[in-house]
Amino acid sequence: MQYKYECSKIRFVWLYFLLTVLEASLRNTVKNLFDYLVKQIIEMNKMEIEEITCFLKWFEHEIGAEIDNLANKTTIKEYHEHDFNQLLEVLRKNKNKLSIDPSD
């Protein structure tokens, strides 16, 4: 009976050791994955900001006016969050400040 008890105890110790190693490995893997995903999100955010900035500079050139001088400039700056008709309506309201006719 003592032998079975010792074997069970050894198995338990080994199982506990393996679970501890597995937990640490899993924790490390999850942390590495989380770190990678955070870096990807930051990089994608930078790319989005660059894309928006470049588009708005091009847009100012095309309409012949600085966006900061227009009414409802927030709608223009957040063009990616609105539909095209809202953007067009803001341009129509600012038509006297533009070098183009937004009705065309």
Does the pLDDT value for residue 3 go beyond 70? no
Does the pLDDT value for residue 26 go beyond 90? no
Contact 90, 70 (CB under 8 A): yes
pTM given for the model:
0.67
Q: Tell me which long-range contacts 86-91 makes (C-beta under 8 A, separation of at least 24).
A: 91/63
Return the SS3 of 87: helix
State how far the Cα of 21 lies from the Cα of 32, in Å rounded to an integer.
16
Does the pLDDT value for residue 68 go beyond 90? yes
Look over the chain and give the mean of its residue pLDDT values, rounded to a whole number: 89
State how far the Cα of 25 lies from the Cα of 56, in Å rounded to an integer.
47
pLDDT at 22: 85
Does the pLDDT value for residue 96 go beyond 90? yes
